Structure 1
Amino acid sequence: MLLPIIIADAFRFCGDFLHVASKVVLITKIARTRSCSGLSLKTQFLYAMVFIFRYVDLFDFYIKGLLGVYNFIMKILFIGFQILILFMMRFKYFSTYDKKWDKFNILILIVPCFVFSLLFARSGYGVYRYISNVLYISSLFLESVAILPQLVQLQEAGESETMTSKYILLLGLYRASYTVYFILKRVYDVKNIGSIPIACGIIQTLLYMDFFTIYYRYVFRKSGISESLPSSNIKGEL
């Protein structure tokens, strides 16, 4: 029983590393090129919502043991990185933002995610706990679809910069690692892992698969800053 739990935790920490790496890659790309060309501001806004909603308990400031310290540091990093990315895209390099390609209506993602979170949230734990639970579940639903504006923008523009593709690849690997972690925890650990994180993780991973195929064929097999992308099933499915 102990080995599967250790393996599960390894996937979790690996997922955290990949997640941090994806943010570092994106920030480095923007800083080096002094441009946010090819990036969806709407996707980054959705991710900001995800982290703020998910880590509302950060203000409780209750840290228990080394794992608690680790979790606190990760929360600070994710929120901090995301705010920095938004600042760079919305203010510092906004003149380079490809607004004409970033035209996905994110309200069709935000509203259903919030409504479903109200349906699945547990009540009876007080107002604060209920609101925290609603926000947490909303963050799970939102994260599973937050990449859609970025993927649609890439298909609309017809090309993807290599660093942008690597950022998306790292995000996909992060979510796949966390999905494995949730599944192993649910099967082998006594802790109660709900079905929502698993379902959302699977949905998010499936969304990346279409892009992964294109990434392998047109980035790993070619060289250059920007790669032309063929049409995929993403737009046809929306």
Structure 2
Amino acid sequence: MGKRRGVSAVNMVFGWLRQQSNKVKIALGIIISLILVVFLKFTVRNHNHFFIASELIHATGILILIYKLTRQKTCSGLSLKSQEVTAIFLAVRLICSINMEGDIHTVLDFATLVSTLWVIYMIRYKLKASYIKSLDTCYNYYVLVPSAILALVINPSTSYSYFHRILWAFCVYTESVSVLPQLRLMQNAQIIEPFTAHYVFALGIARFLACAHWIIQVVETRGHYLWLLGAGYFWFPVALIAEIVQTFILADFCYYYVKSVMEGQLVLKMPV
């Protein structure tokens, strides 16, 4: 009885949300996100842990894909192009990490890159018959070329070489839009099976944590990073915008994911 009441209450909440305008939904999403950011700020002392958690959750998402590919023997619903873009930015970030950091981030990036390359191999060769190429319609150069151009124009000012600064900026920009081919495929398919949905939801949580780290940095410096715009230093504000863009790109999907899970639906249906 209690479970039914809980489900009924959830349905009422989502029913109310569906009736609201897009402006109201966006406003509510922003408010909830800010509340979560404030909560994280006061509960997590070392904010560098946000990035570590983000990378771990991303790796967890890859493990979900590996389970899907090995147990179900199908790559239906997965975007090969999105995985290729992911592998590219991970490879670039790994190069930068080896030369600039050499810490736990390097290990996590390496593990995630190897796993992603394995997923690409499975989609391209072992499970090629189940790959729906006709739905994977977002070409990689739509993502990579703008990211490369922006990296040449706006990159961090550090003691590292200009080449490494461009690479770092490129991987930040590319990561922010790497999920677009996957979202495009799901939009074309309309119906998303559970493991693919779990994977994309994991990406959404990972990006939110990374975005929270940047926002908290702005708050703790009392907006100093944003004022750098006036000095002609655009890197930090643009990087922050890139994180926010990716978070909002995934926010809509995460809403429907949570809605489906709360309603007990195993298959996620995207709106037309």
TM-score grouping bracket, smaller chain normalisation: 0.7 to 0.9
2:108 to 74, 79, 83: 74
Q: Report if aligned partners of 1:43, 1:148 keep a CA contact under 8 Å in 2.
A: yes
1:32 and 1:11 map into 2 onto residues whose CA distance is 31
Does residue 205 (structure 1) correspond to residue 255 (structure 2)? The answer is no
**Could you report, residue by residue, the CA deviation over 1:75-128 in whole angstroms, capped at 9, with x for unpaired residues?**
2112111111111111221121010111112222211111111001357968xx
Q: Answer with 107-116 or 117-126: which moved more.
A: 117-126
Is the CA contact (8 Å cut-off) linking 1:5 and 1:188 kept in structure 2?
no
The question of 1:154 aligning with 2:196 is answered no
Residues 163-207 of structure 1 show CA distances to partners (whole Å, capped at 9, x for unaligned) of 111111110000100111122234437xx8923332111100100
* Counterpart AA for 2:142: I
Per-residue CA deviations over 1:13-67 (Å, capped at 9, x if unaligned) read 322321221111111111111111000001101101111112213554974xxxx
% identity of equivalent residues: 24
SS in 2 for 1:121: coil
1:179, 1:197 within 8 Å by CA — same for their partners in 2?
A: no
- 1:9 correspondence with 2:51: no
Change over 3 Å in CA distance of 1:124–1:145 after alignment to 2? closer
Three-state SS of the structure 1 residue aligned to 2:133 is coil
1:140 aligns with 2:182: no
Instruction: Tell me the TM-score normalised to structure 2 length.
Output: 0.73
- Greater shift after overlay, 49-58 or 211-220? 211-220
Of 87, 92, 102 in structure 1, the residue corresponding to residue 121 of structure 2 is 87
- Distance apart, 1:161 and its partner CA: 0.6
Q: 1:54 to 1:72 in 2, by over 3 A?
A: closer
1:121-200 equivalent positions in 2, closer than 5 A? 121=155, 129-188=161-220, 194-200=236-242
Please, which of 136, 149, 157 is the counterpart of residue 115 of structure 1?
A: 149
1:47 matched to 2:86? The reply is yes
Check conservation: 2:75, 2:131, Cα contact below 8 A: yes
Deviates more, 1:197-206 or 1:12-21: 12-21
Q: CA deviation at 1:5?
A: 7.2
Give the direction of change, closer, same or farther, for the CA distance of 1:122–1:185 in structure 2 (3 Å limit). closer
CA 175–84 in structure 1, closer or farther in 2 if over 3 Å, else same: same
Q: TM-score, normalised by structure 1?
A: 0.82
Indicate the RMSD between aligned Cα atoms, in angstroms: 2.7
| Residues 100 and 197 (structure 1), Cα distance of their counterparts in 2 relative to 1, 3 Å cut | same
* Residues in 2 aligned to 1:124 and 1:172: alpha-carbon distance in whole angstroms: 29
Shift of 1:7: 4.7
Verify the 8 A CA contact 1:40 1:149 in the aligned structure 2.
Answer: yes
Separation in structure 2 between the aligned mates of residue 98 and residue 21 of structure 1, nearest angstrom: 24
Q: What code does the residue aligned with 2:145 have?
A: V
Aligned residues of 2:77 and 2:131 also touching (Cα < 8 A): yes
The number of equivalent residue pairs is: 222
Whole-Å separation in 2 of the counterparts to 1:62 and 1:170: 25
Give me the whole-angstrom Cα distance separating, in 1, the residues matched to 2:47 and 2:157: 30
- AA paired with 1:176? F
Larger radius of gyration: 2
- In structure 2, the residue corresponding to 1:194 is in which secondary structure? helix
Match of 1:236 in 2: none
Higher RCO (CA-CA < 8 Å; seq separation 6+): 1
Kept in 1: contact 2:80–2:120 (CA 8 A): yes
- Which runs of no fewer than 5 residues in structure 2 stay unpaired? 1-40, 226-234
